[in-house]
Amino acid sequence: MKNTFASPRVDLGLFFLRLTGSLLLLYVHGLPKVLHFSEELTRIEDPFGFGPWASLIPAIFAEAICPLFIIAGVYTRLACLPIIAVLLVAMLAVHPDWSIAEGQFGWLLLIIFTTLALTGAGQWRLQHKATEKFA
């Protein structure tokens, strides 16, 4: 559905939010988990007692795979959901004793990806180009 009321600046802002938020999440959390998988298996917190594999695989999916979908603007709202879930678990179950200052990066990421889940990707996305081409 095409939104005729949205300004091109809004689409630019959503693209900037998608790109920067996803790159930060990917660089700070996703890539280290992928590149140091064996080490991460020994360090990852397991707040629900599922085991390290069952905790690490969803975290890698949310922090390394989902940001790529969001950058491309493909299934953006859907790709935000695992990220939001992992961030909520991290902030509320794993680190509930953190102050706002200690957890500010996590809370800011939660704000970014919740905003994108609510707004969608905007018009600057690959999915828009694909649906426009085949419509």
Residue 49 domain-assigned?
Answer: yes
Position 7 confidence tier, pLDDT thresholds 50, 70, 90: confident
CA-CA-CA-CA torsion for 71, 77, 80, 85, nearest 10 degrees?
A: -170
Tell me the three state secondary structure of residue 56.
helix
Instruction: Using the predicted structure, report yes or no on whether residue 4 has a pLDDT greater than 60.
Output: no
Angle at 61 between CA 56 and CA 67, to 5 degrees: 135
The per-residue pLDDT for 87 is 97
Residue 3 domain-assigned?
Answer: no
Structure pTM? Answer: 0.88
- Domain count across the chain: 1
Residue from 43, 76, 41 nearest 57 by CA: 41
Structural domain range at position 65: 8-134
Q: What is the pLDDT of residues 74-119, one digit of tens each?
A: 999 999 999 999 999 999 999 999 999 999 999 999 999 999 999 9
Q: What is the pLDDT of residues 29-59, one digit of tens each?
A: 999 999 999 999 999 999 999 999 999 999 9
The per-residue pLDDT for 52 is 94
Which two structure tokens, joined as six digits, stand for 28? 């700070």
CA distance readout (Å), 93 to 66, 86, 87, 96: 22, 10, 10, 6
Residue 1 domain-assigned?
Answer: no
Residue 125 domain-assigned?
Answer: yes
